[in-house]
């Protein structure tokens, strides 16, 4: 998008008709990674250009040398290549407004919109208090919980907690003791966040401070930062963060393999 | 059959994976899914593991990214979700993006054809029957008010159990049915520059 395209788009976005919040959503704060574009637009005229519309690393093959003012990224959504996702374009605009405004984006004048944006509520347990280390409800252990309702965030995390809940339930059914994954693995780090790792800080609202989270390296036990690489050279500056992550993931996968091979686990692996 | 089945409520990503992990070690499982009889405001199909937001599983870099590591841990654990995701992968740089229909169809077909999995279409409103001695509740962020209230009653923390009021608002994104040629012309990668940013995608 050129500067003119962007300014025109932004004006239309700011003037657009938004859906009103339902009563129970009125005090709902937005999750950080999930801000509607119209909210970002209201925060400043360049906010979107530094967010989902960031024009970095792209050039226009039809006009080489000319840098875009802002971009909209489309990500392929099906194998046929007929559906494309507008990356980062979550919105609460009314549907008619979405169609009208998104067709102002150069190249999308004739686009058909197969699925429009919307918002929904997230329901999740205060898991650190209510669930035990095997994802069982302390008040009624025949019930296990898995997925987003436990307070994990993201598709892969939900499936991972499903994987752990399934294995734990199967082990119980087979009369085996289930050993939780080591805390050094991504499985263990995520399970730890849900079932006990989180510290409820009074300043954050006490018991209510537990919030959904994606898996991230902050949930892993610290590791000694590697100082030298395999060739014995001192690791410098920017490389050190990457070296630390590599050390964390190598430790995780080694511990995971040990866990998967452990005799206490479900047989028939 | 030596074991009573484990009941899994909810055929999303978590419930589908849970059912798969149970069946693959020889334990029977009943997977309960209320769709398509009772739809939600977010879903469009009756398929299992329907992706309602983005179609990206985010970074697939197991060496320096935490979610990429989680992918690898799941693959090593025989995950159905990762196997189906890998089989229906779309080009997306370093991320694992999937064809949502192919992915959902594959998960549905694999579970339906497993001899130890019974797919039961119908809503479980309220607490599961007392004779089910092992249940996995994987009902997602839009868990029905009846079940929410029932669990709230159980925990004695009706006010604390579910955070409706302060919950974040997630969104599912737009898809455009645009001509691929036109879209590709709009977005092209600069060979000298970084890949287009996808880090904001959930």
Q: Give A221-260 pLDDT, tens digit per residue.
A: 888 888 888 888 888 877 888 899 999 999 999 999 999 9
What is the percentage of chain A residues whose pLDDT exceeds 70?
Answer: 83
Determine the average pLDDT of the residues in A100-113.
Answer: 89
Q: Give A130-161 pLDDT, tens digit per residue.
A: 899 999 999 899 999 999 999 888 999 999 99
User: Is the confidence at residue B143, as pLDDT, over 90?
Assistant: no
Is A75 in the B-facing interface, judged by CB distances under 8 Å? yes
Angstrom distance (rounded) from CA A138 to CA A66: 61
Across the interface, whether the CB atoms of B42 and A118 are under 8 A apart is answered yes
DSSP state of B33: E
Is A29 in the B-facing interface, judged by CB distances under 8 Å? yes
For residue B36, cis peptide bond before it (omega within 30 degrees of 0) = yes
What is the percentage of chain A residues whose pLDDT exceeds 90?
Answer: 42
Q: What is the pLDDT confidence band of residue A120, given thresholds at 50, 70 and 90? A: low
Q: What are phi and psi of B59, to 5 degrees?
A: -60, 140
Q: Roughly how many angstroms between the first and final C-alpha of chain B, as a whole number?
A: 41
Q: Identify which of B17, B27, B175 has the shortest CB distance to residue A114.
A: B175
Nearest residue to A146 via CA among A112, B107, A134 = A134
Tokens 């390296």 identify what position? Answer: A217
Q: Give B22-49 pLDDT, tens digit per residue.
A: 999 999 999 999 988 887 777 888 999 9
DSSP state of B61: -
Q: What is the per-residue burial (b if ≥16 Cβ within 10 Å, else e) of B144-164?
A: beebbeebbebbebeebbbbe
CA angle, A249 as apex, A247 and A255 as ends, to 5°? 100
Domain boundaries, chain A: 3-102, 127-261
Angstrom distance (rounded) from CA B96 to CA B79: 15
Cβ-based neighbour number of residue A23 at 10 Å: 8
Q: How many domains does chain B have?
A: 1
The answer to the question of residue B154 being in a domain is: yes
Q: What is the pLDDT confidence band of residue B199, given thresholds at 50, 70 and 90? A: very low
The answer to the question of residue B107 being in a domain is: yes
Q: Give B145-192 pLDDT, tens digit per residue.
A: 778 778 878 876 553 444 433 333 333 333 333 333 322 222 222 333
Helix, strand, or coil (residue B111): helix
Number of H helices, E strands in chain B: 7, 9
Residue A56, pLDDT score: 86
Query: Do the Cβ atoms of A74 and A87 come closer than 8 Å?
Result: yes
* Residues of chain A contacting residue B174, judged by C-beta atoms under 8 Å apart: 85-86, 89, 91, 98, 102, 113, 115-117
Determine the average pLDDT of the residues in A17-42.
Answer: 64
Range of the domain at B127: 6-52+101-186
Mean pLDDT check: name the lowest of A4-13, B58-67, B138-147, B190-199: B190-199
Residue A126, pLDDT score: 82
Residue of A nearest to B13 (CA): A159
Strands (E), B10-60: 29-33, 56-59
Determine the average pLDDT of the residues in B71-96.
Answer: 96
Stated pTM of the model: 0.75
Mean pLDDT, all residues of chain B: 79
A1 to A108, B93, B170, B194: CA distances (angstroms): 12, 22, 27, 18
Q: Give A157-210 pLDDT, tens digit per residue.
A: 999 999 999 999 999 999 999 999 999 999 999 999 888 755 544 433 444 457
Angstrom distance (rounded) from CA A31 to CA B23: 36
CA angle, B144 as apex, A28 and B110 as ends, to 5°? 110
Give which of B27, B74, B168, B198 to mutate to test A binding, by max A Cβ within 10 Å: B168
Residue B173, pLDDT score: 38
Angle between helices B100-112 and B13-23 (to 10 degrees): 30
Instruction: State CA B154 to chain mean position distance.
Output: 26
The answer to the question of residue B62 being in a domain is: no
The answer to the question of residue B60 being in a domain is: no
Residue B70, pLDDT score: 98
Residue A209, pLDDT score: 56
Q: Identify which of B81, B141, B171 has the shortest CB distance to residue A91.
A: B171
Is B149 in the A-facing interface, judged by CB distances under 8 Å? no
Cβ-based neighbour number of residue B142 at 10 Å: 19
Angstrom distance (rounded) from CA A83 to CA A76: 6
Residue A251, pLDDT score: 97
To 10 degrees, the CA torsion angle through A96, A97, A98, A101?
Answer: 130
The answer to the question of residue B59 being in a domain is: no
Is A145 in the B-facing interface, judged by CB distances under 8 Å? yes
Tokens 């019974």 identify what position? Answer: B118
Angstrom distance (rounded) from CA A256 to CA B21: 17
Q: In this structure, what CATH number is given to the domain that contains residue B168?
A: 3.50.50.60
Cβ-based neighbour number of residue B9 at 10 Å: 26
Q: Where are the alpha helices (DSSP H) in A62-175?
A: 95-102, 127-130, 155-173
H/E stretch holding B66 reads helix B66-76
Q: Identify which of A29, A116, A266 has the shortest CB distance to residue B174.
A: A116
Q: What are phi and psi of B97, to 5 degrees?
A: -105, 145
Q: What is the pLDDT confidence band of residue B126, given thresholds at 50, 70 and 90? A: confident
The answer to the question of residue B78 being in a domain is: no
Residue B135, pLDDT score: 98
Determine the average pLDDT of the residues in B76-99.
Answer: 96
Mean pLDDT check: name the lowest of A2-6, A57-61, A77-81, A223-227: A77-81
DSSP state of B167: P
Angstrom distance (rounded) from CA A181 to CA A190: 10
Tokens 């102002």 identify what position? Answer: A104
Is B145 in the A-facing interface, judged by CB distances under 8 Å? no
The answer to the question of residue B197 being in a domain is: no
Angstrom distance (rounded) from CA A153 to CA A151: 6
Determine the average pLDDT of the residues in B67-93.
Answer: 97
Q: Is the predicted ipTM greater than 0.85, yes or no?
A: no
The answer to the question of residue B77 being in a domain is: no
Determine the average pLDDT of the residues in B49-68.
Answer: 93
Supply the CATH classification number for the domain A127-261. Answer: 3.50.50.60
User: Is the confidence at residue A28, as pLDDT, over 60?
Assistant: no
User: Is the confidence at residue B102, as pLDDT, over 60?
Assistant: yes
* Residues of chain B contacting residue A183, judged by C-beta atoms under 8 Å apart: none
- What B49-52 contacts at long range (C-beta under 8 Å, 24+ apart), as own/partner pairs, is B49/B11, B49/B12, B49/B13, B49/B16, B49/B81, B49/B84, B49/B103, B49/B104, B49/B107, B49/B108, B50/B12, B50/B100, B50/B104, B51/A155, B51/B98, B51/B100, B51/B103, B51/B104, B52/B172
Determine the average pLDDT of the residues in B106-121.
Answer: 98
Q: What is the pLDDT confidence band of residue A21, given thresholds at 50, 70 and 90? A: low
Across the interface, whether the CB atoms of A158 and B12 are under 8 A apart is answered yes
Tokens 């964390």 identify what position? Answer: A248
């Amino acid at each position: 998008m050129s500067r003119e395209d962007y300014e025109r788009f932004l004006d239309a976005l700011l003037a657009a008709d938004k859906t009103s919040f339902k009563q129970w959503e009125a005090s709902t704060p937005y999750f950080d990674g999930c801000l509607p574009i119209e909210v970002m637009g209201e925060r400043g005229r360049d906010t979107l250009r530094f967010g989902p519309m960031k024009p970095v690393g792209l050039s226009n093959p039809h006009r080489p040398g000319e840098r875009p003012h802002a971009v909209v990224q489309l990500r392929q959504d099906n194998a046929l290549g007929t559906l494309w996702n507008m990356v980062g374009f979550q919105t609460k605009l009314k549907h008619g407004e979405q169609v009208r405004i998104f067709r102002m984006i150069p190249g999308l004048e004739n686009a058909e919109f197969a699925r429009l944006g919307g918002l929904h509520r997230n329901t999740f347990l205060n898991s650190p208090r209510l669930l035990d280390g095997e994802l069982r409800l302390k008040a009624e252990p025949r019930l296990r919980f898995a997925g987003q309702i436990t307070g994990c965030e993201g598709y892969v995390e939900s499936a991972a907690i499903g994987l752990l809940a399934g294995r734990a339930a199967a082990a119980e059914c087979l009369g085996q003791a289930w050993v939780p994954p080591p805390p050094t693995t991504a499985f263990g780090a995520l399970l730890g966040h849900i079932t006990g790792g989180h510290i409820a800080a009074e300043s954050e609202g006490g018991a209510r401070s537990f919030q959904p989270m994606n898996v991230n390296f902050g949930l892993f036990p610290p590791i000694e930062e590697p100082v030298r690489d395999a060739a014995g050279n001192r690791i410098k500056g920017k490389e050190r963060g990457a070296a630390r992550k590599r050390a964390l993931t190598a430790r995780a996968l080694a511990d995971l393999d040990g866990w998967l091979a452990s005799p206490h686990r479900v047989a028939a692996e | 059959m030596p074991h009573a089945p484990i009941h899994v409520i909810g055929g999303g990503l978590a419930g589908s994976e849970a059912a798969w992990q149970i069946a693959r070690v020889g334990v029977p499982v009943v997977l309960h899914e209320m769709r398509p009889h009772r739809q939600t405001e977010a879903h469009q199909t009756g398929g299992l593991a329907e992706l309602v937001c983005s179609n990206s599983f985010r970074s697939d870099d197991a060496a320096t990214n935490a979610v990429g590591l989680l992918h690898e841990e799941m693959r090593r654990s025989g995950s159905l979700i990762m196997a189906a995701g890998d089989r229906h992968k779309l080009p997306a740089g370093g991320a694992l993006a999937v064809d949502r229909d192919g992915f959902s169809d594959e998960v549905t077909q694999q579970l339906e054809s497993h001899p130890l999995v019974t797919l039961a279409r119908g809503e479980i409103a309220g607490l599961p029957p007392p004779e089910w001695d092992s249940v996995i509740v994987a009902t997602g962020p839009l868990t029905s008010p009846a079940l929410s209230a029932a669990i709230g009653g159980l925990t004695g923390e009706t006010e604390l159990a579910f955070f409706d009021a302060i919950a974040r608002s997630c969104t599912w994104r737009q898809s455009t049915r645009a001509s691929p040629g036109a879209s590709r012309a709009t977005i092209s990668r600069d060979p000298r520059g970084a890949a287009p940013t996808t880090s904001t995608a959930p």
